[in-house]
């Protein structure tokens, strides 16, 4: 039976190679063991800026023009 399990993981450099880890939950669900041959599919994820500004307050109309309306000396 073939079905698709998906996880997002991060590469790590070990020697001259890049390694990834398979999350414990997938290891358990799939019954994976050491030295077992598995097939993986690689999809690079695009970096997202989502959440990067978390906690910042919204700019007001005054903030938008601050520094632009004052005269330079």
Whether the pLDDT of residue 13 is over 60: the answer is: yes
Q: Which residues pair with residue 19 across a beta bridge?
A: 12
Exposure class string for 16-26: b at 16+ Cβ within 10 A, else e: eeeeeeeeeee
Q: What is the pLDDT of residue 47?
A: 74
Average pLDDT (5-16) is 90
- What confidence score (pLDDT) does residue 19 get? 94
Is the pLDDT at 1 greater than 60? The verdict is no
For the residues of 33-67, what is the DSSP string, one character each? -TT--------PPPP--TTTTTTPPPPPHHHHHTT
Pick 44 or 51 by higher pLDDT: 44
- What does the pLDDT read at residue 43? 87
Q: Where are the domains of the chain?
A: 1-42
């Amino acid at each position: 039976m073939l079905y698709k399990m998906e996880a997002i993981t991060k590469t790590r450099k070990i020697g001259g190679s890049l390694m990834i880890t398979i999350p414990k939950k997938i290891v358990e669900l799939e019954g994976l063991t050491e030295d077992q041959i598995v097939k993986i599919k690689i999809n690079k994820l695009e970096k997202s800026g989502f959440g990067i500004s978390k906690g910042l307050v919204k700019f007001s109309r005054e903030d938008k023009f601050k520094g632009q309306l004052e005269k330079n000396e």
